[in-house]
Amino acid sequence: MPLLEEAARAEGFVMDSENPELWVSWSPDQEFCHDAPALPSLCAVSVVATSVASPPLPVMGFCHPARRSATLREWVAQWPLGGILRPFLASEAVGSRACTIRIPQASEWLFLKTPGAKQSVESGGLREMAVTLFGMGRFPIMPATLASAAMLVLALWLRARVGGAGFWEITLAVAGLATISAVALESWAERRFLTSDPREFVLDEVAGLALTWAMLPPSSGWEIIVLGFLLFRIFDIFKWGIHWVERLRLPGVIVWDDLLAGAYAGFATLAIRTFLSS
């Protein structure tokens, strides 16, 4: 679990997935096993259970509703009308998108050996606020779409307030700043969330969508801004003609595919705008 490994690393201890004795886990229908051997090196224990009668380690890190990873298709299947909606998620690009869903009647408990690890787990600081766009990246369902939608609302407000020229300058600056920040924070985010291209990282969507808008003429109206948003999400989800840039493994690879999706969406939006104006 990411937070368990983060807590372990805060105490100078590296979790080793190839050494089972360093991992302690319970399934939701089991209570904590009090006879489990106490390892001198053990500094964090994550328990997924209905309750914990006796803490395995002295410091309570957190307790919150337990979740597990799932696909969007699995999440929709839980809805009352999920059976009707599932066929609309037949595309692997959409239906297989990662999300998190509740484990019924279970909580996730994190126990730590020292209070210092708790402080590290609880705070990701300004860097986490930046890469998750003020926490939107932690939304359990399609966080990239949520972050992009929030940008759209802000963009429409900015366009009305500062005009076309000002909006173009702002989006160009945001695209550049978000790209530089994404490249700079990529390695940190991978350590924080313990995976490459973590789903919580939505700063790359900020860069890609801002690039789409920066490619539009300042005279573009609100409907063209909305069209750019829609086309960016389509290219970002389906990744038509984009996978090749991911295979280059360039520094900051986390953002290059979004910039390419943003460029494709920008060109497509320009083409449609030109066609509609002719």
Band (25; pLDDT cuts 50, 70, 90): very low
User: Locate tokens 């766009």: which residue?
Assistant: 133
pLDDT digits (tens, 9 = 90+) for 191-213: 777 677 888 999 999 999 999 99
- Of the listed ranges 22-36, 37-51, 54-68, 244-258, the least confidently predicted one is 22-36
Band (271; pLDDT cuts 50, 70, 90): very high
Count helices and strands (H / E) in the chain: 11, 3
Q: Where are the domains of the chain?
A: 2-123, 128-277
Give pLDDT, residue 6.
57
Q: What is the DSSP letter of 58?
A: S
Give pLDDT, residue 90.
65
User: Locate tokens 């999300």: which residue?
Assistant: 99
Strand ordering across the sheet containing 44-49: 44-49, 98-112, 59-71
Average pLDDT, the chain: 81
The answer for residues whose C-beta is within 8 angstroms of residue 269's C-beta and 6 or more apart is 212, 215, 216, 224, 227, 228, 231
Q: Look at 52 and 23; give whichever has higher pLDDT.
A: 52
Residue 51 has pLDDT above 50, yes or no: yes
Q: Look at 47 and 166; give whichever has higher pLDDT.
A: 166
Q: Identify which of 49-63, 71-85, 132-146, 187-201 has the greatest average pLDDT.
A: 132-146
Q: Look at 195 and 117; give whichever has higher pLDDT.
A: 195
High-pLDDT (> 90) share of the chain, %: 43
Give pLDDT, residue 60.
84
The Cα–Cα gap between 71 and 92 comes to: 10
pTM for the full predicted model: 0.74
The Cα–Cα gap between 246 and 257 comes to: 6
Report, as an integer, the average pLDDT of 5-17.
53
pLDDT digits (tens, 9 = 90+) for 118-145: 666 555 789 999 999 999 998 888 899 9
Q: Look at 10 and 195; give whichever has higher pLDDT.
A: 195
Q: Is 99 strand, coil or helix? A: strand
Asked if 135 and 150 touch (Cβ cutoff 8 Å), the reply is no
- Of the listed ranges 83-92, 100-109, 135-144, 195-204, the least confidently predicted one is 83-92
Residue 3 has pLDDT above 50, yes or no: yes
Structure token digits, residue 44: 């964090």
The Cα–Cα gap between 7 and 4 comes to: 5
Q: Look at 247 and 29; give whichever has higher pLDDT.
A: 247
Residue 171 has pLDDT above 70, yes or no: yes
Give pLDDT, residue 120.
60
Q: Identify which of 39-48, 124-133, 185-194, 209-218 has the greatest average pLDDT.
A: 209-218
The answer for residues whose C-beta is within 8 angstroms of residue 260's C-beta and 6 or more apart is 208, 241, 242, 245
The Cα–Cα gap between 107 and 112 comes to: 16
Give pLDDT, residue 43.
67
The answer for residues whose C-beta is within 8 angstroms of residue 75's C-beta and 6 or more apart is 99, 101, 141
